[in-house]
Chain A
């Protein structure tokens, strides 16, 4: 049987004085980057999405060096949800269609859109303008936006930061469940120990730009 590649491999990766990772492998499934704020978790996520490039060393995706891939194509396969996602002008519908327009892909059918909105708990008319949405609703919309894209990997930067604890639980459980069924991977940044313990297969501890620990999560609930 052919050996399965790691999802990402880091070899001697440095980014200015912010990140220093001599060696790291991230497998498939759900991985959490866990650690205190300002420790470099978001920068690592941005490196995986190629919004930031290492100043030294190499990152591999499915054993292919990232520098040998097309950055735009890569971002379409490995989609990131920012901590403070920006909403585009217009309606919920416009925001959900925007990435499809960027990627020159056919727009999803309204029934598919409503299904995803329901899964993230956003019960709104598609014509609603985004200006009237609360912070939590915008975060749900942003999550729906990337779920619709069906990428190979979801990079989630504090996906529950604008949600209350109960909503966060539902939303994260939804995307994790979806990822497991569709055999997609998630790399999620969080500083919540509860979220890390509840959903991840692997927990990677990050502090001061370094990997301070990596463990299999035996306590996973879902």
Chain B
């Protein structure tokens, strides 16, 4: 394989032409998104530059505490992002459920992939741990966000349905099982759909990155398969944990809707 072609600063700057094109389109159409486009482009650049320098340091100085610290930071950031999407709507209990689900679901899948499937040595090797954690946690965050949104919608729009079920002797678990099943289904569908299109409709980012970096496509594929399966497992685990613990927060000790 050929080595990777390094991009110079000037080459990167020329890529900002895409931003200018978007700005021209939006301004000519009178769409007021200039501020957001500029801000997101600048933020993306600064965040990636910062992340790059931090990663260079961490990869050069592998340390279990640093690896765990960064993964924990990713988890915390993901949890805050989910909670932030539903500002003023979530109860304290539901926030705890989200945090626990993200920690347990994504954490266990990540550890299984790193330690049992890939067998990274030493186990805390940041070269593997950090990028894989980013993918697993990021996808789980998307799944949980979708699950929380649909759970809240379902519990609101089907409130009368649930009350009727309770009146007829259903336990909260039975009264909400339909909502839970539909929500679980809708939350994992994007992951399933992306797996269906993978390799044909699009090449996933990680695999593209590895190929660009000069790694053999067969190695890149092997990693992509393992990671994609871990993402599926993690999304399913975090979503089902969120739903299984989450529905209970809508009921009091008297098994009544609150």
Additional 15 contacts, C-beta under 8 A, given A50-B255, A75-B166: A50-B256, A51-B163, A52-B256, A71-B254, A72-B169, A72-B255, A79-B168, A86-B161, A86-B163, A88-B164, A99-B170, A102-B170, A102-B174, A102-B175, A103-B168
CB neighbours of A145 from chain B (8 A): 168
B167 pairs with A75, CB closer than 8 A: yes
Q: Is A49 interfacial (CB 8 A cutoff)?
A: yes
* 7 cross-chain pairs, A with B, having the tightest CB-CB distances, nearest first: A102-B170, A86-B164, A76-B169, A99-B168, A71-B255, A102-B174, A103-B169
Which residue on chain B has the smallest CB distance to residue A81? B167
Q: Is A144 interfacial (CB 8 A cutoff)?
A: no
Which residue on chain A has the smallest CB distance to residue B167? A80
**B145-173 contacts to A (CB < 8 Å):** 160-161, 163-171
* Distance A182 CA – B163 CA, assembled complex (angstroms): 28
**B166-205 contacts to A (CB < 8 Å):** 166-171, 174-175
CB distance from B181 to the nearest CB of A (A): 14
**A35-49 contacts to B (CB < 8 Å):** 49
A86 pairs with B170, CB closer than 8 A: no
CB neighbours of B175 from chain A (8 A): 102
A82 and B164 in contact, given A71-B254, A72-B255, A101-B174 (Cβ under 8 angstroms): yes
CB neighbours of A72 from chain B (8 A): 169-171, 255
**A65-113 contacts to B (CB < 8 Å):** 71-72, 75-76, 79-80, 82, 85-86, 88, 98-99, 101-104
Which residue on chain A has the smallest CB distance to residue B169? A76
* Distance A80 CA – B163 CA, assembled complex (angstroms): 11
Q: Is A185 interfacial (CB 8 A cutoff)?
A: no
**Which of B163, B169, B255, B256 contacts A102 (CB under 8 A)?**
B169
Q: Is A160 interfacial (CB 8 A cutoff)?
A: no
A86 pairs with B160, CB closer than 8 A: yes
A51 pairs with B167, CB closer than 8 A: yes
**B215-255 contacts to A (CB < 8 Å):** 254-255
Q: Is A149 interfacial (CB 8 A cutoff)?
A: yes
* Distance A104 CA – B174 CA, assembled complex (angstroms): 9
Which residue on chain A has the smallest CB distance to residue B257? A51
Q: Is A175 interfacial (CB 8 A cutoff)?
A: no
Q: Report how many residues on chain A are interfacial, defined by Cβ distance under 8 Å.
A: 24
* Distance A76 CA – B171 CA, assembled complex (angstroms): 10
Provide 30 A-B residue pairs closer than 8 Å at the C-beta atoms, listed in order of the A residue.
A49-B167, A50-B255, A50-B256, A51-B167, A51-B256, A53-B254, A71-B254, A72-B170, A72-B171, A75-B166, A75-B168, A75-B169, A76-B169, A79-B169, A80-B167, A85-B164, A86-B160, A86-B164, A98-B168, A99-B169, A99-B170, A101-B174, A102-B165, A102-B169, A102-B170, A102-B171, A102-B175, A103-B169, A146-B168, A149-B168
CB neighbours of A102 from chain B (8 A): 165, 168-171, 174-175
Which residue on chain B has the smallest CB distance to residue A84? B160
What is the 8 Å Cβ interface bit string for chain A, positions 178-190, against chain B (1 contact, 0 not)? 0000000000000
A50 pairs with B254, CB closer than 8 A: yes
Which residue on chain A has the smallest CB distance to residue B172? A72
CB neighbours of A50 from chain B (8 A): 254-256
CB neighbours of A53 from chain B (8 A): 254, 256
Which residue on chain B has the smallest CB distance to residue A101? B174
CB neighbours of A99 from chain B (8 A): 168-170
CB neighbours of B256 from chain A (8 A): 50-53, 71
CB distance from A59 to the nearest CB of B (A): 12
* Distance A51 CA – B160 CA, assembled complex (angstroms): 12
Identify the interface centre among A52, A76, A86, A104: most chain B CB within 10 Å of its CB.
A86
CB distance from B169 to the nearest CB of A (A): 4
CB neighbours of B170 from chain A (8 A): 72, 99, 102-103
* Distance A75 CA – B170 CA, assembled complex (angstroms): 8
* Distance A86 CA – B166 CA, assembled complex (angstroms): 12
* Distance A102 CA – B175 CA, assembled complex (angstroms): 7
CB distance from B204 to the nearest CB of A (A): 38
CB distance from B170 to the nearest CB of A (A): 3
CB distance from B164 to the nearest CB of A (A): 4
Which residue on chain B has the smallest CB distance to residue A50? B254
